[in-house]
Amino acid sequence: MTRVITKFTRNVPHWQPRLKPVDLEEASQEQLDALKVTPSNTKVSEYVLTLAHDVESLKVRSPLFNAIMYDEGGMSRSERELGALGASMVNHCIYCAAVHAARHAQLEKSTDVTDKLFRDGARADLSPRDRAIFDFAVALSEAPPRVGQEHVAALRDAGLDEAEVLDLILSSALFGWANRLMHVLGDPVRVS
């Protein structure tokens, strides 16, 4: 039995594709290269196998994703996760929200912020810095984006420099991308 998850959680669900992922047995050499499949590494998630249908995008997406979320300098990793979470909450991507809330909690060694966000939504009682970061990510993620000078001024007043704001733009925007794959192409489920 599988049950589709509709509420935000840090307990990362299983992702079940709504269409048929690429079958490794039938994959082209270009797909195998992009999936980094080798005789000793044949483990590939269903999500990545689904994206392998568009191999040219997949090849660019993975290094770009890693650079935005993990490259050194600028905004801290946990604050980039907060940007990703803001986007994922706007787009109601349960799977992405779970993964990035869990990473935030792990990096911060605290579930306080994500507990509050999942319990109280946009009204959550956050520190001024987290509040400015979350509000910016939410405003940028709306469609159309409604981010204005007041959102950036709030980031500046909370002590963020230009490099941190740029990293927040990139991490929030990146989840505009990721959410439109995860939330559109599959369901977050619990298997029992």
Partner 1 sequence: MAQDTTALRVAGSTAASGSAAAVERRANIFGMTQQAEVAVLRPRDCGRWPHGLRAAMAARIAALNGEPELAGHYRTDAGDYAALADPSVDGSGQGLAEVMAFMDKVAVETRDVSAPDIASLQAAGIGDADIVRLCELNAFLAYQLRVIAGLRVLNEVYA
Which CB sits closer to partner 1, 78 or 91? 91
Name, in order, each residue with C-beta under 8 angstroms of 83's C-beta and a sequence gap of 6 or more.
75, 133, 136, 137, 167, 168, 171, 172, 175
Q: Does 92 bind partner 1 (CB under 8 A)?
A: yes
Residue where the block lists tokens 């840090």: 10
Q: Does 91 bind partner 1 (CB under 8 A)?
A: yes
d(CA 162, CA 7) in angstroms, rounded, equals: 35
How would you class 15 by CB atoms within 10 Å of its CB: exposed for 0-12, middle for 13-18, buried for 19 or more?
buried
Residue from 2, 60, 120, 159 touching partner 1 (CB under 8 A): that is 60
Which CB sits closer to partner 1, 105 or 141? 141
| 183, two tokens | 């939330």
Residue from 61, 80, 100, 104 touching partner 1 (CB under 8 A): that is 61
Which CB sits closer to partner 1, 105 or 137? 137
| Of the candidates 14, 10, 1, the residue with the CA atom closest to the CA atom of residue 182 | 14
Contact residues for partner 1 (CB under 8 A)? 18-20, 50-51, 53-57, 59-61, 63-64, 67-68, 71, 73-74, 90-92, 140-141, 143-145, 147-149, 151-153, 156, 161-163, 165-170, 172-174, 176-181, 183-185, 187
